């Protein structure tokens, strides 16, 4: 199997990471060597194996849906890269 | 009082309780040494001024019943600390100031400890050498231009270099045990679910665990006792009876059955590592334990499994860094362009690489071939351990396949970097506890570690075995203070 530049471009779109030509080529090389190493798993027959979906064999505990942190809007907004008092601001979406 | 920083945590607590030292004396000493140690690049952010204030305040009304009375401590910069910048070693969080505290650090401050600062680490804990940090690589106190290991490299460097008495790190595939091994200190990766993940910057949620790093096993046991707690804020936290690990610590391991897995004798492993392992086997026998040859047949599949599971979870966890609510934002022509540029400029090369792997293995048409396959193999790896633990109480292996390497030696070859974690990764995949203890030096004088793997929730047992071995090994770390002018 080989991951080509077209695939790299496709994944980078899905991952929302812009990648230029030079970087795409480097990534293709890296990913190919990593996947070559990962392909080792194909040696194993796993048809009848149950996948491990949770390492902690416990059921998730339920709790009542209560507000515990109150009036923290200001604190939260403070970390925003561009603030406008009450909102998170993003580039214009609707023309 | 130049010898304060040489004291173990246990000694410092003893001296503070006996009023031979004040919290201010101790805090000053560690700040002083930390300030002289800039070349190690162990800190990302220091909080020295406020630490000294807190120490003075502690001394005015000392509560000596606490477990860490007035003890200064720096922690890995992956733990959210309220009102103190938390970066995870990334440019994308360079200006992030949490509004809340992680549960494990909260537990530490509740027992009287004082925050010294935040320690360097690989970006989002993705790395084995602390070379992927946006804030530059960390130097090892063992030798100039040597990596301290990673991802908890700043933590390892700070404990070995005596900039903090003890610390906490996180371990997703070996990030506590490998740097502990590289710097001649003790590091424990607890059972999954033992320490709360609340407030820890997430990497791979089914593998991440916080754990203690210390100069010796007793200090490690005490810190573990403090950080391990059930927490309703972490849905995978497990409510089980926790021990008083330091009080119940014993070097009596007579009759314990210790497994030696043949699959850990990997191709190309240096003879020094094999010799160290044999010495370890002899030590546990000298302590009255019995060693039994065991097989963990799927060991060689652990690393490929990890490099599907961990990036997959990371790609999902790191989707939150979009430049909207917090962190770095790049300018973009529109929303999507802003996302893409933010993530491209904000994440370093290794993090991007792993997000790309993760996105690929979860993408349409590849999920079954990679992610599902990896989950199945993960089950087989866990079954191997379950089977082994029918016969043995714990397992002894080397911590790493080699001693520390030079800065820059492996940065161009991701796979060779990943191979560093070959002995530590299976433990995370199976959710088990593992401890690395310093056990000797190689021909270059660099430390080498041995790992003891336990049954789930059996931290006390591996701490006891480590404690008994530590006495026999009598390891002395060779710290020359090369970085202090």
CA distances (Å), A81 to each of B95, B125, B293, B342, B380, in order?
9, 24, 57, 11, 45
Burial grade of B378 (CB within 10 A; 0-12, 13-18, 19 or more):
buried
The answer as to whether B53 is a domain residue is yes
Cβ-based contacts of A11 with chain B (< 8 Å):
356, 359-360, 363
Q: What order do you get walking across the sheet with B447-454 strand by strand?
A: B166-171, B209-214, B186-189, B434-441, B447-454, B394-398, B257-261, B290-294
**Alpha-carbon span A35 to A24, nearest angstrom:** 16
Helix boundaries (H) for B404-458: 414-418, 425-429
**Whether the predicted pLDDT of B2 surpasses 60:** no
What pLDDT does B403 receive? 95
**Alpha-carbon span B361 to B364, nearest angstrom:** 8
What pLDDT does A1 receive? 59
Confidence of residue B475 (pLDDT cuts 50, 70, 90): very high
Tokens read off for B47: 């909080």
CA distances (Å), B35 to each of B42, B53, B253, B290, in order?
11, 17, 42, 47
The pLDDT tens digits of the residues spanning B182-210 come to 999 999 999 999 999 999 999 999 999 99
**Alpha-carbon span B264 to B258, nearest angstrom:** 14
**Alpha-carbon span B121 to B52, nearest angstrom:** 24
Helix, strand, or coil (residue B247): coil
| Region of residue B406 (phi > 0: left; psi between -120 and 50: alpha; otherwise: beta) | beta
Out of A19, A41, A82, the one facing B373 most closely (by C-beta) is A41
Question: What's the CATH number where B51 sits?
Answer: 3.90.1300.10
**Alpha-carbon span A33 to B483, nearest angstrom:** 37
The answer as to whether B408 is a domain residue is no
**Whether the predicted pLDDT of B100 surpasses 70:** yes
**Whether the predicted pLDDT of B485 surpasses 90:** no
What pLDDT does B112 receive? 98
**Alpha-carbon span A2 to B136, nearest angstrom:** 33
The answer as to whether B289 is a domain residue is no
Q: What average pLDDT does this structure show over A71-89?
A: 84
What pLDDT does B268 receive? 85
Quickly count: other Cβ atoms within 10 Å of residue B10's Cβ.
Answer: 18
The pLDDT tens digits of the residues spanning B219-261 come to 999 999 999 999 999 999 999 999 999 999 999 999 999 999 9
Element (H, E) at A32: helix A21-38
Q: Which of B118, B46, B120 is nearest to B90 (CA)?
A: B120
What pLDDT does B126 receive? 97
B307–A90 CB contact, under 8 Å: no
What pLDDT does A54 receive? 85
**Whether the predicted pLDDT of B13 surpasses 80:** yes
Q: So what's the ipTM on this one? A: 0.94
The answer as to whether B157 is a domain residue is yes
Closest residue in B to A92 (Cα–Cα) = B334
Average pLDDT of the residues of chain B:
97
Q: Which of B155, B177, B175 is nearest to B166 (CA)?
A: B155
What pLDDT does B415 receive? 84
B431–A55 CB contact, under 8 Å: yes
Provide the shortest C-alpha distance from residue A67 to chain B (in Å).
13
What pLDDT does B267 receive? 87
Q: Which domain holds residue B66?
A: 4-257
B377–A37 CB contact, under 8 Å: no
The pLDDT tens digits of the residues spanning B256-284 come to 999 999 999 998 889 999 999 999 999 99
What pLDDT does A70 receive? 85
Cβ-based contacts of B301 with chain A (< 8 Å):
40-41, 43-44
Confidence of residue A61 (pLDDT cuts 50, 70, 90): confident
Q: What order do you get walking across the sheet with B43-46 strand by strand?
A: B43-46, B114-119, B72-76
The answer as to whether B129 is a domain residue is yes
Q: Angle A74-A75-A79 (CA atoms, 0-180°, nearest 5)?
A: 105
Spatial contact of B345 and B411, defined as CB atoms under 8 Å apart: no
**Whether the predicted pLDDT of B285 surpasses 80:** yes
**Alpha-carbon span B393 to B103, nearest angstrom:** 30
Active site residues of B: 76, 151, 175
What pLDDT does B411 receive? 86
Out of B304, B341, B380, the one facing A18 most closely (by C-beta) is B341
The answer as to whether B328 is a domain residue is no
The answer as to whether B444 is a domain residue is no
Element (H, E) at B187: strand B186-189
A8–B347 CB contact, under 8 Å: no
Number of structural domains in chain B? 1
What pLDDT does B174 receive? 97
What's domain A5-43's architecture? Orthogonal Bundle (1.10)
Place of tokens 């970006």: B123
Domain boundaries, chain A: 5-43
Place of tokens 């190309």: B268
Q: Which of B117, B106, B311 is nearest to B210 (CA)?
A: B106
The pLDDT tens digits of the residues spanning B341-350 come to 999 999 999 9
B375–A61 CB contact, under 8 Å: no
The answer as to whether B194 is a domain residue is yes
**Residue ranges of A 18-37 with Cβ closer than 8 A to chain B:** 18-19, 27, 30-31, 33-34, 37
């Amino acid at each position: 199997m080989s991951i080509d530049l077209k695939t790299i471009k496709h994944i980078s779109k899905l991952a929302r990471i812009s990648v230029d030509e030079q970087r795409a080529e480097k990534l293709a090389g890296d990913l190919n060597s990593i996947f070559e190493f990962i392909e080792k798993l194909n040696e194993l027959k796993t048809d009848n194996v149950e996948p491990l979906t949770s390492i902690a064999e416990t059921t998730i505990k339920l709790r009542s849906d209560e507000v515990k942190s109150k009036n923290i809007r200001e604190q939260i907004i403070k970390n925003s890269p561009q603030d406008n008092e009450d909102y998170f601001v993003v580039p214009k979406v609707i023309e | 009082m130049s010898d304060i920083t040489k004291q173990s945590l246990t000694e410092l607590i003893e001296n503070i309780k006996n009023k031979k030292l004040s919290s201010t004396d101790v805090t000053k000493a560690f700040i002083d040494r930390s300030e002289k140690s800039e070349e190690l690049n162990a800190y990302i952010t220091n909080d020295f001024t406020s630490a000294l204030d807190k120490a003075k305040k502690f001394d005015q009304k000392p509560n000596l019943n606490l477990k860490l009375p007035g003890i200064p401590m720096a922690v890995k910069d992956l733990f959210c600390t309220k009102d103190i910048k938390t970066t995870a070693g990334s440019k994308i969080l360079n200006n992030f100031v949490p509004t809340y505290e992680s549960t494990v650090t909260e537990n530490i401050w509740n027992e009287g400890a004082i925050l010294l600062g935040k320690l360097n680490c690989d970006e989002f804990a993705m790395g084995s050498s602390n070379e992927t940090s946006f804030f530059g690589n960390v130097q090892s106190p063992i030798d100039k231009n040597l990596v301290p290991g990673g991802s908890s490299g700043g933590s390892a460097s700070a404990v070995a270099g005596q900039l903090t008495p003890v610390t906490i790190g996180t371990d997703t595939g070996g990030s506590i045990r490998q740097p502990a091994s590289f710097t001649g200190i003790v590091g424990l990766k607890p059972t999954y679910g033992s320490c709360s993940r609340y407030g820890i910057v997430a990497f791979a949620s089914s593998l991440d665990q916080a754990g203690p790093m210390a100069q010796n096993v007793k200090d490690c046991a005490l810190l573990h006792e403090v950080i391990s707690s059930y927490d309703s804020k972490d849905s995978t936290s497990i409510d089980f009876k926790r021990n008083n690990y330091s009080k119940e610590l014993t070097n009596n391991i007579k009759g314990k059955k210790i497994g030696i897995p043949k699959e850990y004798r990997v191709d190309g492993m240096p003879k020094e590592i094999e010799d160290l392992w044999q010495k370890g086997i002899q030590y546990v026998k000298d302590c009255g334990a019995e060693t039994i040859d065991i097989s963990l047949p799927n060991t060689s599949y652990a690393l490929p499994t990890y490099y599907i599971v961990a990036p997959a979870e990371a790609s999902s966890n790191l989707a939150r860094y979009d430049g909207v609510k917090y962190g770095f934002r790049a300018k973009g022509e529109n929303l999507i362009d802003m996302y893409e540029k933010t993530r491209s400029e904000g994440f370093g090369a290794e993090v991007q690489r792993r997000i790309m792997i993760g996105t690929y293995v979860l993408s349409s048409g590849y999920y079954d071939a990679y992610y599902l396959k990896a989950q199945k193999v993960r089950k087989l790896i866990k079954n191997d351990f379950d089977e082994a633990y029918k016969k043995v109480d714990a397992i002894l292996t080397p911590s790493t396949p080699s001693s520390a390497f030079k800065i820059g030696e492996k940065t161009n070859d991701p796979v060779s970097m990943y191979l560093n974690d070959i002995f530590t990764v299976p433990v995370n995949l199976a959710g088990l506890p593992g401890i690395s203890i310093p056990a000797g030096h190689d021909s270059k004088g660099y430390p080498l570690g041995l790992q003891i793997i336990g049954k789930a929730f059996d931290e006390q047992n591996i701490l006891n075995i480590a404690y008994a071995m530590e006495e026999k090994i009598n390891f002395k770390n060779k710290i020359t203070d090369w970085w202090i002018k």
